[in-house]
Structure 1
Amino acid sequence: MFSSKKKQPPIRTLIGEGTVIVGELRFTEGLRIDGEVQGDVVALGESHSILVISEKARVLGKVKAAHVIINGSVTGPVHSDELLELQPRACIVGDVRYEVLEMHQGATINGELRPLKADDKPALKLATANGG
Structure 2
Amino acid sequence: MFGKKTPAIRTLIGEGTVINGEIKFADGLRIDGEVVGNITAVGDKRTMLVISEKAKVSGRVRAGHVIINGLVTGPVESEDLLELQPKARIVGDVRYEALEMHQGATIDGELHPLKSEDKPSLKLASNNS
Flag whether TM exceeds 0.5 (same fold): yes
Q: Relative to structure 1, is the Cα distance of residues 123 and 34 closer, same or farther in structure 2, using a 3 angstrom cutoff? A: farther
**Matched position secondary structure for 1:47:** coil
Q: Which amino acid aligns with 2:93?
A: D
Alignment of 1:3-14 (within 5 A): 5-14=3-12
Task: Choose the corresponding residue for 1:25, options 23, 26, 29.
Answer: 23
Task: Choose the corresponding residue for 1:92, options 90, 93, 104.
Answer: 90
Hey, what's the Cα distance between the residues in 1 that align with 2:97 and 2:26? 20
Hey, what's the Cα distance between the residues in 2 that align with 1:5 and 1:70? 20
Deviation track 1:7-37 (CA, whole Å, cap 9, x = no partner) reads 0010010000000000000100000000000
Q: Relative to structure 1, is the Cα distance of residues 40 and 109 closer, same or farther in structure 2, using a 3 angstrom cutoff? A: same
Q: Which amino acid aligns with 1:100?
A: A
Hey, what's the Cα distance between the residues in 1 that align with 2:121 and 2:17? 43
2:78 corresponding residue in structure 1: 80
Please, which runs of 5 or more residues in structure 1 have no aligned partner? none
Hey, what's the Cα distance between the residues in 1 that align with 2:99 and 2:120? 20
Identity of aligned residues (%): 69
Structure 1 residue 96, shift from structure 2 partner: 0.3
Q: Relative to structure 1, is the Cα distance of residues 107 and 124 closer, same or farther in structure 2, using a 3 angstrom cutoff? A: farther
Q: Which amino acid aligns with 2:118?
A: D
**Matched position secondary structure for 1:118:** helix
2:56 corresponding residue in structure 1: 58
TM-score by structure 2 length? 0.91
TM-score by structure 1 length? 0.89
1:67 corresponding residue in structure 2: 65
1:42 corresponding residue in structure 2: 40
1:113 corresponding residue in structure 2: 111
